[in-house]
Amino acid sequence: MARSVVSGSLESSDCLITLTEAGETSVQVDTIVHEAFQRHLESLIRETLKQSGVKNIKVHCQDQGALDYTIKARLEAALARYEENDDG
């Protein structure tokens, strides 16, 4: 089974980040706030990914109205855990 980790929660003002090993990098954002924020969240996630250097990963972010720094922290925590699980 593909390596996969989650972080965060579905509580209000939080987000649940799921990272799954994949052939290429992709980002999917489902958000309860206005669509306008979707593109903003996507670029925030892509930027954070770029900084981490992790590739070939599918990021799913289920956003319950989280602020930028929450999303960034959740994603960084998930990425750290993902890297720890390197041996599967």
Partner 1 sequence: MDIKDVVLEEEKQEIRRFLKRFHLTYEDDIDITLALYEDDALIATASSAANIIKSVAVHPAYQGRGYLNPLMSALIKRLHEKGVRHLFVYTLPEHVDLFKHLGFTSIVESMNMSFLERGGDIRATLVSMRDEYGVSRRAKGSVVINANPLTKGHLHLIDTALEDCGELLVFVVSEDRSFFPFEERFAIIEKALADREGVTVLPSGDYLISFATFPKYFSKQEKNIQKDHAVIDVLTFKQHYMDIFNINVRYVGEEPYSPMTKTYNATMKHYLGSKLRIIERKTLEATPISASTVRKLLKKNGVEAVRKYVPEATYRYLKSESGRRAVEALKSHDARH
Establish if 83 lies at the interface with partner 1 (CB under 8 A).
no
Size of interface with partner 1, in residues (CB under 8 A): 14
Task: For the CB of residue 71, give the shortest distance to partner 1 in the complex, in Å.
Answer: 16
Establish if 4 lies at the interface with partner 1 (CB under 8 A).
yes
Residues 6+ apart with CB under 8 A from 33: 63, 65
Tokens of 55: 């590739």
Establish if 62 lies at the interface with partner 1 (CB under 8 A).
yes
E strands, the chain, are 4-8, 15-21, 26-31, 57-63
Tokens of 40: 């903003």
Note the residues at the interface with partner 1 (CB under 8 A): 1, 4, 6, 8-12, 16, 18, 30, 32, 62, 64
